[in-house]
Amino acid sequence: MNFFSLLLIYLGLLIMLIGSFGIARLANIYSRLQASGVSDTVGVILILLGFLLRKGFRFSDSFLGLLILFFFVTGPIVTHSIAKTAFLSKVEPTKTTKKGEEE
């Protein structure tokens, strides 16, 4: 149980780290939102699941379950609202031909 909980925690941290590189490397707001929205939601949920397994399933730890549900519901909503605001503000996605070159 201890090994599996540490595996979930480290996997969540790795996914969040990869998402951070995606935010820094991708060209436009829409691509960055994809990288940040997926990696943050999945990474935090995996970390909290690892904490839940590490502590055990007791009634007092139901707060971690509520946090998992909170992030599962609100993560995509926040990402969608930012993307909708960018779309309504007429933010154009940048077109790249080669690595790092914009048209």
- Inter-residue contact 38 to 45 (CB < 8 Å): no
pLDDT one digit per residue (tens) for the chain, 103 residues = 789 999 999 999 999 999 999 888 888 888 888 888 889 899 999 999 998 888 777 777 788 888 889 988 998 899 899 989 988 998 887 776 555 555 5
In the chain, what is the straight-line distance between the N-terminal and C-terminal CA atoms, in Å?
52
Q: Is 96 helix (H, G, I), strand (E, B) or coil?
A: strand
| Structure token digits, residue 37 | 């929205």
Q: Could you give the CA distance from residue 37 to residue 80 in angstroms, rounded to a whole number? A: 9
- Residue 103 domain flag: no
| Reported pTM | 0.80
Domain assignment of residue 27, given as a range: 2-88
Q: Per the structure, how many domains does the chain have? A: 1
- Residue 100 domain flag: no
- Residue 12 domain flag: yes
- Residue 69 domain flag: yes
